[in-house]
Amino acid sequence: KNEVEQSPQNLTAQEGEFITINCSYSVGISALHWLQQHPGGGIVSLFMLSSGKKKHGRLIATINIQEKHSSLHITASHPRDSAVYICAVREETSGSRLTFGEGTQLTVNP
Amino acid sequence: IAGITQAPTSQILAAGRRMTLRCTQDMRHNAMYWYRQDLGLGLRLIHYSNTAGTTGKGEVPDGYSVSRANTDDFPLTLASAVPSQTSVYFCASSDLTGKSNEQFFGPGTRLTVL
């Protein structure tokens, strides 16, 4: 079993829909990251969370430390949101190193 | 240079050949990382360095070596490439002195070993 599990693996939505991507982990963490990888391959960091909730534009990330679960929400989705979304955790014992989920492929159709 | 760069962008290599993937950052980050990304497996850490002069092994270090002679450069060497090393390789860096420890990724190197 992977230490970081994402669901769903693939998600197709219509433009305007509210989207949720989930991430569960099995280890103690000091932080959780959400990353975005566009079809061209580039990876950018969206959020770093250690508790609560963060919002940036139409993106919202939440984390529940007790339940070892995080969600990434996209409101009013747009075709340009189509990308792979990756959850990664920084384990309490691993210093700066991250452990990654396999990613969720999101496709938003116009 | 702005951010983090990798070279080459892509490479086709014969098995048994030696290859060095280059990574340079201009953000003065103390930590640097090498990952490989394979379909169905996500990103996996190969080697990392928390500061110039030190390196550490990640999840999949076998067949790879790294060096960190200075802050900016973190080359990854495949001493004798094998087909299972066909992958997309990403270099990343982060500032361990900061609060966020956000990792910044290079554009990747697509390597094919035949």
| CB < 8 Å from B in window 36-55 of A | 41-45, 48
What percentage of chain A exceeds 90 in pLDDT?
A: 81
Contact B50 A44 (CB under 8 A): no
Predicted local confidence at residue B1, as pLDDT: 52
Q: How far apart are CA A8 and CA A45, in angstroms?
A: 20
Distance in Å, alpha carbon of A99 to nearest chain B alpha carbon: 7
How many residues appear in chain B? Answer: 114
Q: Does A31 touch chain B (CB under 8 A)?
A: yes
Model confidence pLDDT, tens digit, residues A39-72: 877 899 999 999 999 999 999 999 999 999 999 9
At residue A76 the predicted structure's pLDDT band, cuts being 50, 70 and 90, is: very high
Model confidence pLDDT, tens digit, residues B20-73: 999 999 999 999 999 999 988 889 999 999 999 999 999 999 999 999 999 999
At residue A19 the predicted structure's pLDDT band, cuts being 50, 70 and 90, is: very high
Predicted local confidence at residue A1, as pLDDT: 55
Closest CA to B11 of B106, B90, B111, B114: B111
Q: What is the mean pLDDT of chain B?
A: 94
Look at strands B109-113 and B10-13 and give their pairing. Answer: parallel
At residue B99 the predicted structure's pLDDT band, cuts being 50, 70 and 90, is: low
Contact A33 B103 (CB under 8 A): yes
